Amino acid sequence: MNLLATVQQKAKACAADIIALRRHFHQHPELSYQEFNTAARVADELRKLGLQPRTVAVTGVVAEISGNNPGKKTIALRADMDALPIDEKNNVPYRSKNPGVMHACGHDVHTASLLGTARILTELRHSFEGTVRLIFQPGEEKNPGGASLLIREGVLQNPTPACIIGQHVFPLLPAGKAGFRPGRYMASSDEIYLTVIGRGGHGAAPELTVDPVVIAAHLIVALQQIVSRKASPKQPSVLTFGRVQANGATNIIPDRVEIAGTFRTLNETWREQALKEIETMAKGLAESMGGRCEVTLSRGYPCLINQPELTERLRQAAMQYMGRENVAELDIAMGSEDFAYYSQQIPAAFYRLGTRNEERGITAYVHTPVFDIDEDALVTGMGLMAWLAISELAQRP
């Protein structure tokens, strides 16, 4: 049996154990930077494999698998562990036991899958040269992003990995398939908080007020011009306001209105320009209408860039592993990922794992209370990542 077939066989052999682990993580989700029990279980599983996990950034876990000639080359594999503040509505045996907390973005899948990959690579450690660094990361869902904290604590040092590879569930792609995209892939993500301040009063006497509700309404519409008229039509940009709060009443004009939203793009230069434009327009328009606007910009994750040569090598390796017909080409995505911080430091590739099964009704998108996966995807995920790691280690340093 050749090495590729051996990886496939080992992925199938440990499927039941890894599915059980995924269900455990799904039942016991923990929010960003609170993944204490998840991290402890991950560390226990790694120790069972004979590895020596260490804690990084409080709830992060890192371990290394040494093959033959471990100093020849090091690569990194990353999974995130945190859940979302969502109340699960799935009626499944492994439903979340933590009210208001749910693995609605598949991080339970990523964690279990990387543990499966670790098991395969540990059993095959004499079949490859080099070292695989396993990174189980906290806080992907919340600023400043666990990746930035791990980088600050040296997770990409001693030695610096030649590359880092990340895998993420994708409910638009059927289970058994994977998707890749070289170059620009995912958007930056910044949070925008506007406080429109006027002078409240009786709704029947608006001439005695400076109505912040009217100012806010103009602002929400006017700021869209930054996307429609300031950005090139060739430059993807999204400006969305999802929260508007005015604590008045039918006949009460409030003193202030709170607005919160997000700006996303795939170009760092335009990102900086657009944020300045948003602040300038918000303040200027509010003043022109007699009020004022306080602007707070919370910087989020940068654009995620998949290193083209690395991504193409991994795509070719994926076609070897699962067949050309099961490897898809991805479009750009306006969602964001803190994996982007790794891509700013070393060659990085972030690919998608299909989890959809229409026949079984498994079609819900991530960040919804009914998100779930076809668990056959775990067999594909752990085996594919193991094969990608082996293939990349075989490349010249």
Residue 289 pLDDT > 80, yes or no? yes
Residue 293 has pLDDT above 90, yes or no: yes
Q: Which of 152, 99, 139, 118 is nearest to 7 (CA)?
A: 118
Q: Which two three-digit tokens encode residue 211?
A: 């109505």
Whole-Å CA distances, 261 to 83, 224, 258, 278, 303: 21, 12, 10, 11, 18
Which two structure tokens, joined as six digits, stand for 349?
A: 């590739």
Residue 397 has pLDDT above 70, yes or no: no
Cα–Cα distance, 327 to 322 (Å, whole number): 8
Mean pLDDT calculated for residue range 105-130? 98
Helix axes 3-13, 15-27, angle to 10 degrees: 50
Q: Which of 262, 277, 157, 293 is nearest to 226 (CA)?
A: 277
Q: Cα(5)–Cα(8) distance, rounded to whole angstroms?
A: 5
Q: What strands, in cross-sheet order, belong to the sheet with 292-298?
A: 237-245, 256-265, 190-197, 292-298
Kindly tell me if the per-residue pLDDT of 183 is higher than 90.
yes
| First CA to last CA distance, the chain | 27
Q: State the average pLDDT over residues 224-236.
A: 93
pLDDT in tens, 26-77: 999 999 999 999 999 999 999 999 999 999 999 999 999 999 999 999 999 9
> What CATH class does 190-298 carry?
alpha beta
pLDDT at 321 over 80: yes
**Residue 290: per-residue pLDDT:** 97
Q: For residues 90 and 29, is the Cβ–Cβ distance under 8 A?
A: no
3-state secondary structure of 197: strand
Q: How far apart are CA 116 and CA 55, in angstroms?
A: 20
Instruction: Please state, rounded to an integer, the average pLDDT across all residues of the chain.
Output: 97
The token duo for 163 is 């590359």
DSSP one-letter string for 274-335:
HHHHHHHHHHHHHHHTT-EEEEEEE-----EEE-HHHHHHHHHHHHHHH-GGGEEEPPPBSS
pLDDT at 1: 72
Q: Using omega within 30 degrees of 0 as the cis cutoff, is the peptide bond preceding 144 cis?
A: yes
**Residue numbers annotated as active site:** 82, 140
The answer on pLDDT for 237 being more than 80 is: yes
* CB atoms inside a 10 Å sphere around CB 4: 15
Q: How confident is the model at residue 200 (pLDDT cuts 50, 70, 90)?
A: very high
**pTM score, two decimals?**
0.93
Q: Distance between CA atoms of 266 and 71, rounded to whole angstroms?
A: 36
Distance CA 120, CA 107 (A): 20
108 in Cβ contact with 18 (< 8 Å): no
Task: Give residue limits of the domains in the chain.
Answer: 3-186+302-393, 190-298
Bridge-based pairing of strands 292-298 and 190-197 is: antiparallel
Per CATH, the number for 3-186+302-393 is 3.40.630.10
Task: Please compute the mean of the pLDDT values over residues 357-385 and round it to a whole number.
Answer: 98
How high is the pLDDT of residue 396? 76
